[in-house]
Structure 1
Amino acid sequence: MAAVLGSSFTAMEIARLAAGYPAAVLAVPAVIFAFTVARRPGGEPVPEKFMAAAALSVFAGASVWLGSQMAGHPVVGGAVFVLLMAGSIWARRFGAAVTRLGALVPLALIASLLSAGSGTGRMAWWPVCGWMALVGLSAFVWVRVVRRVAERLTGLPGSQPGQAPAKRSAQRAGLSTRTRMVLQMAVALTAAFSFGHLLFGEHWQWCVISAMVVSLGTVGRGDLALKGIERGLGAMAGTLLAALVAAVAEPHGTTSIVLIFVVLAVASTLRSYNYAFYAAGITTALSLFYGYFGESAQHLLLIRLQALVLGAVLAVAVGWFLVPVRTSDALRARLGATLGALGSLLDARLDGAPTAKALAAFDAAASSLDSSARSHRLYRTAARKLCAGHGITPADAGEALLATRGPVYALAAGEPGPRERATAQTVRLLRRALSAPADPLPELPEPAPTAPLADLDAALRQFAAALPSLAKRRPPEVLGSGGALRPPVSAA
């Protein structure tokens, strides 16, 4: 939030002293840029940092042009929007660096939606475009400076390298997961644009934002449906909250701006507890943003609710029926990615190599696994409450592997020992077993006698016990290197 405040004040000064525009024209996008960039893991090489700064500056400037196109030429602007969003997902096949650069595209697209729905979209785009590019660069610099200062003050790493994207396997049968995600995003956004303009007129942006947010980052039917429900509930709560705030606070006053920063801070804090809280906070902030530009939250309450719910429904329906990714396949992919990251961490310790990046990669993989395991966890809870089943489920496999996080962090704080070779061998055996969970599991090495290695070995054995639950349905795809999906490998 320190970076968000700094970026906002810088944008206001640029608007006041240099550009001669109302402060909100540049300050509101500056908040979006800084808030979103601050959520990026960072840790990339220095040359890539400069590339990311330049890319964000270009994307920020282009967002004004795109907003003007969507305001004046909705078909052309919408088509460009869909192509950019789908292209940012498709480009992940070119490696981790391109993936991180492509992750800047969605925040520029959200800024373009805000521009299209405000006065900016009806202004001459070129002067604003140049100043907005400077605001995007300022936001990037503020985030990096604040993160660097925080690292110096606390001694804790403020950035961690993101998880490398899954590599495509030449043996994959059918469409890859990435291609399916591209198709789903393109169709969902096209439907959201179409229904948004047909049903909600000049307030179509809310339908598009909802469809985009629900589709982005979800893999598997269960994850998509759960996020759609959370998005819908959170959006409704956020819209109602914004209407209440607008009733007691001046939409164009300082109080409204302060509340926006408070809401964003609370939303960021509560995201780790449940995505619905985050969706409610972001929707509240966006509603306050639009209120600052003159839209009445009370008068548009029903329209916004309808548009947000429709966008979420469209995203879930497209992901459920159009070349869907089964929830169990997504879980298996992330189980394998987490095991692979754990194995890489143990190997780095045994080789005496630095482990900071390996530990960060394990943490990122475990976070992705937790996201895929949520729907399995809810299904297991519901089934057991209804007495529909009490056996081992895929959720147990996910829980067992997530239980390794505590022992891994404790292990990373100490020196490597010879007993870790046996644990590394256990991880390798489990990775092979994951490709054929119905086959008998080979004998695992003896567990370590003392913690934290003993706790890690115990969690891995719980995972081994849950492996047969992953074979209840014959999976069409399992894991390749880096967590990619590929056809099952024979036991030989």
Structure 2
Amino acid sequence: MKHVRIGLAALVTVAAAAGACATVWLAVNAIAGPAAATQPAVLATVVALSLARRDLAGRREFVRSAAALPLVGMAAAGVGWLLVDVPPLGAVLFIAGMSVPIWLRRFGPLGARVGALIALPLTAMLVVPAAPEAPGTPWWPAALLAAGAGAVATLWVTAARELLMRPWLGRSQHGTAHPPRATRPTSRPSEARSGPPSRRLPASTRMAVQMATALAAAFVTGWLLFPSHAMWIVLTAYIVNAGNRGRGDVLHKSGLRVTGAVGGTVIALLLLSLPTLDVRTTTLLVFVTLFAGTWLRAYSYAYWALAVTIILTLLQHVAGAGPAAGEAGLLAERVAAIVVGALLGIGAAWFVLPVRSSDVLRRRLSDLLAALAALVGADRSAHDAEEDEAAFRSALRRVEELAPAHRARRRLGAKGIQPIDCVEAACGLGPAVAERVEETDDDERVDLAIRRARASLRPPFDADEVHRRLVGLAAALRGGTVA
């Protein structure tokens, strides 16, 4: 059932992206012709894909983000215009627009949401860079097109969420759609940060500096090595550092990115050799690949990297933007740029104010336990219960995101209890909460288990102790004894 649900979510996401793409292309084509329609149509597709995947707690948050997105998109279009006409200034503004949102995470969920909203159109500009304009051409027409594309994408994603996603997938993909019964208050969520305050820079600040360093190095290296396609290096440097979950995660994602890019380029070159590859067939291939990549992304990022590489290669072929060496030279040039971008991202993550993967795990487990404490806390309205459950499911997903990199470490032969065992034990809290609704109301036992689990997160990180406490907490939620 889980695989079917993931497939349905991918289908809905791609349907919204396809609808946004077709709407923008038809509208702009009717006014300005097909040459002017391609870029805003692809931009609408990218924005729709990114917005549909965002983890938003409810309708109000989605509406606020959707209302601001066109304005942010206009500013991003201005940055894209500067990247073409005044590259150094455009690069500085782009780097700031990508690194400052990471720094904003230190201000909590609101800062993280604002940061993600700022970065979204800029990410789309990486995939769909601004086309060179004639000298003296103003930037505002492109900005209006970007704003319109963002607005259309938002409308399609809204329709997909309300008309398709909710009836088929329910509120949550991680458990029951019904909120648990309210029980007695437990310790406050603010207590989740165990241990004395650290004098080190916050992780969000360090990751923002890493992103700025990686992007600055990528721009300079791209202009020197790949002057016609510098954004290939920038895109990879951004991807491997985006959502940074520690230096181990960056290394793991870089490997998946390179592997997927190599496989995707080879497949794309095979597709380009087909004699019947016209524009209509290419468009169909793009969206079929997009659906497959969106579906398989839940299992490995390598599939998404493979799909994106195929799509970009096909789009550049249609637009006539392939490398000068011809289609056969696409493999070496693209892979070389991706490898260089990945190395720059790894270097920034490992040697510029590095963030340990165990610290990221501790923080996300702490947030999860805080959300769980609120979920099983004081009496509240059904509306509050729904928000508490959404917060818990969101925190649970953030812990699950850490699994691939830690699982790869275990495959390398690590012995004993590893961080991945703690991640898997934490993932067991979702089903345990769902079972608790039906089986037990033993508040004292659950409160004690939560306090012990939170105490185990005090530094230094002890995987054995954390794992034991999380297993005990899941048992307590099911009505067993506290370990």
Interval of TM-score (by shorter of Structure 1 and Structure 2)? 0.7 to 0.9
After superposition, what is the alpha-carbon deviation per residue over 1:214-273, rounded to whole angstroms, capped at 9, x for unaligned? 100012111111111111111222222222222226676111112111111111111111
Contact 2:449 2:476 in 1 (8 A): no
* Residue pairs, 1:156-235, within 5 angstroms: 156-157=170-171, 171-235=197-261
Counterpart check, 1:377 vs 2:407: yes
Aligned position for 1:344? 374
Separation (CA, whole Å) in 2 of partners of 1:201 and 1:449: 55
Matches within 5 A, 1:48-127: 48-116=61-129, 118=131, 125-127=139-141
CA displacement, residues 433-491 of structure 1 (integer Å, 9 cap, x when unaligned): 321677998x99x989999714xx58x74xxxxxxxxxxxxxxxxxxxxxxxxxxxxxx
- Structural mapping, 1:265-284, within 5 Å: 265-284=291-310
Query: Is 2:424 the partner of 1:399?
Result: yes
Question: For the residues of structure 2 that align with 1:361 and 1:449, how far apart are their CA atoms?
Answer: 18
Query: Contact 2:78 / 2:143 at 8 angstroms: preserved in 1?
Result: yes
CA contact (8 A) 1:267 1:278 kept: yes
The whole-number CA distance in structure 2 between the counterparts of 1:421 and 1:43 is 29
User: Is 2:455 the partner of 1:432?
Assistant: yes
Change (3 A) 1:88 1:449: closer
Task: Give the CA deviation at 1:355.
Answer: 3.3
Alignment correspondent of 2:160:
146
| Residue in 2 that maps onto 1:4 | 17
2:279 maps to what in 1? Answer: 253
The CA distance in 2 between the partners of 1:3 and 1:93, in whole Å, is 32
Decide which moves more: 175-184 or 368-377. Answer: 368-377
1:324-368 CA-partner distances (Å, limit 9, x unpaired): 011221222222222222222222689987533333322322232
Residue 329 of structure 1 is matched in structure 2 by: 359
Q: Aligned to 2:376, what secondary structure does the other structure show?
A: helix
Q: Would you say the 8 A contact 1:65–1:126 is kept in 2?
A: yes
Tell me, in whole angstroms, the C-alpha distance in 1 between the residues paired with 2:383 and 2:38. 49
RMSD of aligned alpha carbons? 3.5
Q: Which residue of 1 aligns with 2:46?
A: 32
Q: In the alignment, what sits opposite 2:7?
A: none
**Whole-angstrom CA distance in 1 between matches of 2:427 and 2:132:** 47
Distance 1:251 1:53, change over 3 A: farther
Alignment check: 8 A CA contact 1:34 1:140 kept: yes
Which is bigger in relative contact order (C-alpha 8 A, separation at least 6)? Answer: 2
Q: Aligned partners of 1:20, 1:286: CA distance in 2, in Å?
A: 22
Which amino acid is the alignment partner of residue 330 of structure 1?
A: V
AA of the residue aligned to 1:345: L
Task: Tell me the matched-pair count.
Answer: 446
SS at match of 1:325: coil
Asked if structure 1 preserves the Cα contact closer than 8 Å seen for 2:17 and 2:49, the reply is yes
Is 1:313 aligned with 2:327? no
Structure 2: 5+ residue stretches without partners = 1-13, 175-188
In 2, Cα distance between equivalents of 1:195 and 1:241:
27
Q: Which residue of 2 aligns with 1:419?
A: 442
Following the alignment from structure 1 to structure 2, what is the Cα–Cα distance between the partners of residues 170 and 249? Answer: 66
SS at match of 1:383: coil
Taking structure 2 as the reference length, what is the TM-score of the superposition? 0.82
SS of the residue 1:434 aligns to: coil
SS of corresponding position for 1:429? helix
Partner SS state of residue 139, structure 1 = helix
| TM-score where L is the length of structure 1 | 0.81
Residues 120 and 67 of structure 1: CA distance in aligned 2, closer, same or farther (over 3 Å)? farther
Equivalent residue number for residue 57 of structure 2: 43
Partners in 1 of 2:390 and 2:195 — Cα distance?
25
Code of the aligned partner of 1:43: A
Contact 1:117/1:203 (<8 A) preserved: no
Whole-Å separation in 1 of the counterparts to 2:117 and 2:321? 28
1:358 aligned to which of 388, 392, 411: 388
Identity of aligned pairs, percent?
Answer: 32
- Measured in 2, the distance between the counterparts of 1:220 and 1:319 equals 8
Letter in 2 for 1:324: P
Q: Distance in 2 between matches of 1:440 and 1:309?
A: 37
Task: Give yes or no for the alignment of 1:137 onto 2:151.
Answer: yes
Assess, with a 3 A threshold, how the Cα gap between structure 1 residues 448 and 107 changes in structure 2: closer, same or farther: closer
Answer with 230-239 or 177-186: which moved more. Answer: 230-239
Question: How many Å separate the matches in 1 of 2:433 and 2:377?
Answer: 13
Cα separation, partners in 2 of 1:403 and 1:340, compared to 1, 3 Å: same
Change (3 A) 1:340 1:396: same
Q: Cα 1:375–1:328, aligned 2, differ >3 Å: closer, same or farther?
A: same
**Pick from 292, 304, 310: which aligns with 2:318?**
292
Shift of the alpha carbon at 1:50? 4.3
For residue 76 of structure 2, what is the amino acid of its counterpart? Answer: S
